Amino acid sequence: MKKSLVSILLFTACAAHAQGLMKGVGGASSSEGGEKQTSSGAFDEDHKYMFYAGADLQNSTLSVSNSQSFGGLAADRFHSKFWDMRAGYRLFKVIGVEAHFGFPDQDANGASHYKVRDYYGLFAVPTANVFDLFELAFPLGYTNSGVTALVNNSPVDKHLNSMAYGARIELPVRVFWHELPDVRITGGGMVYYQRSDAREYGFHFGLRYDFGFGTPSG
């Protein structure tokens, strides 16, 4: 896990540095009369305070390695789906903070399924804008969730909490037409829980809406 976190942070730093270089090169050729160069307009950076809200359908897998810590749940893989609602604030252009809240989309209605009863998370999210076409984000934080699985047809509850990390790509629909609202199509992968007794991971897709207020200084 530590190697994965280090790799994510190193990649983010490199991507952010490359982004700055690309903007610096583009800024070297200013328009006539000293006017500021504008981007393609896919990313709205016209506000001092930038917020966003999103919703994703998470397709998760719980891989149990220690049956005893899960009330006798077999050491096997189990699958679930849950909705993940998130709200974020952009601290800087290359990092934001997010709060997550999740609720179930699927019950523990079979031997190979489990239910995510609730899900909470708090993340720092380094980001990189790639050629004003899409954004790469690398959430790193802490999650707490409650899950339910069936053991001998009886529900067994378990609380999961650990460091969590992942990566996602976010594509503004304004890439296709600038007059559209500032909505982004999102998708990626996450490790929600990782300890010696089990690992919970999965992939997700959804939408995000960006908004803000205030005029940037300078």
- The answer to whether residue 109 sits within a structural domain is yes
Residue 34's contacts (CB-CB under 8 Å, 6 or more residues apart) are none
CATH code at 82? Answer: 2.40.160.20
Contact criterion met (CB below 8 Å) for 144 and 160 = yes
Average pLDDT, the chain: 83
Comparison of pLDDT for 104 and 71, the residue scoring more: 104
If one counts the domains in the chain, the total is 1
- The answer to whether residue 39 sits within a structural domain is no
- The answer to whether residue 158 sits within a structural domain is yes
pLDDT tens track for 33-82: 433 333 445 666 677 889 999 999 999 999 999 998 888 888 999 999 99
Comparison of pLDDT for 215 and 162, the residue scoring more: 162
- The answer to whether residue 33 sits within a structural domain is no
- The answer to whether residue 65 sits within a structural domain is yes
Range 25-58 burial, b when 16+ CB lie within 10 A, else e: eeeeeeeeeeeeeeeeebbeeeeeebebebebeb
3-state secondary structure of 150: strand
Mean pLDDT of 83-98: 95
pLDDT of residue 72: 86
Length of the chain: 218
- 214 burial via Cβ count (<10 Å: 0-12, 13-18, 19+): exposed
Tokens for 14? 């490199």
- The answer to whether residue 61 sits within a structural domain is yes
Beta strand 134-137 pairing with 140-151: unpaired
Mean pLDDT of 158-173: 96
Range of the domain at 193: 2-23+52-212
Which is it for the CA torsion 45, 51, 56, 61, positive or negative? positive
- The answer to whether residue 92 sits within a structural domain is yes
pLDDT category at 164 given cuts 50, 70, 90 is very high
How many Å apart are CA 43 and CA 63, to the nearest integer?
38
- The answer to whether residue 104 sits within a structural domain is yes
3-state secondary structure of 111: coil
| Number of C-beta neighbours around residue 12 at 10 A | 21
Q: Supply the pTM of this predicted model.
A: 0.78
pLDDT tens track for 120-145: 999 999 999 998 889 999 999 999 99
pLDDT tens track for 176-191: 888 889 999 999 999 9
Taking the CA atoms of the chain, what radius of gyration do you get in angstroms?
20
pLDDT of residue 121: 98
